[in-house]
């Protein structure tokens, strides 16, 4: 089944640096979403980008989408220790019964060192 695959699996940077995470998927999508998960917490929605959009910004976050390459990237600029978390991309898919669902990748674990 269709699934986003994040790359790298883990990323460690210094505070103030930029962090880039990538997501690749297999089949056509309507939209792609990015979520953050702090340790021991639930996922928090960050940004949704539709298939007809190429770039979207939200604060220090920038998401790009290249449907020809079936890939998306999440850039966090001027990272802070509080950005330490796992980041997941989620793509839309359809179940065998015809219902719509999100399929999550395995995540990128980002560590921002003070």
Partner 1 sequence: DTAVSQTPKYLVTQMGNDKSIKCEQNLGHDTMYWYKQDSKKFLKIMFSYNNKELIINETVPNRFSPKSPDKAHLNLHINSLELGDSAVYFCASSLRGGFYEQYFGPGTRLTVT
Is 44 a binder of partner 1 (CB under 8 A)?
yes
Interface size with partner 1, residues (CB under 8 A): 26
Binding mask of the shown chain, residues 50 to 69, with x at each position contacting partner 1 by CB under 8 A: --------------------
Q: How far apart are CA 78 and CA 21, in angstroms?
A: 14
Q: Which is nearer to partner 1, 44 or 81 (CB)?
A: 44
Which residue in the set 19, 71, 92, 112 belongs to the binding site for partner 1 (CB under 8 A)? 92
Q: How far apart are CA 34 and CA 16, in angstroms?
A: 21
Cis, peptide link before residue 14, omega less than 30° from 0:
no
Which residue in the set 16, 41, 55, 57 belongs to the binding site for partner 1 (CB under 8 A)? 41
**Which candidate, 4, 36, 29, 20, places its Cα nearest to that of 74?**
20
Tell the smallest beta-carbon distance from residue 15 to partner 1 (Å). 24
Residue 114 in 3-state DSSP? coil
Q: Which is nearer to partner 1, 75 or 102 (CB)?
A: 102
Does an H or E element contain 50, and which?
Answer: strand 43-50
Is 33 a binder of partner 1 (CB under 8 A)?
yes
């Amino acid at each position: 089944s269709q699934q986003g695959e994040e790359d790298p699996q883990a990323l460690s940077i210094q505070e103030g640096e930029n962090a880039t995470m990538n997501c690749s998927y297999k089949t056509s999508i309507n939209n792609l979403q990015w979520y953050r998960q702090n340790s021991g917490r639930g996922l928090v929605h960050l940004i949704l980008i539709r298939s007809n959009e190429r770039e979207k910004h939200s604060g220090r976050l920038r998401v790009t989408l290249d449907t020809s390459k079936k890939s998306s990237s999440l850039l966090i600029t001027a990272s802070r220790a509080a950005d330490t978390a796992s980041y997941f991309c989620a793509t839309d898919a359809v179940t065998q019964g015809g219902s719509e669902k999100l399929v999550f990748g395995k995540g990128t674990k980002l560590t921002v060192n003070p």
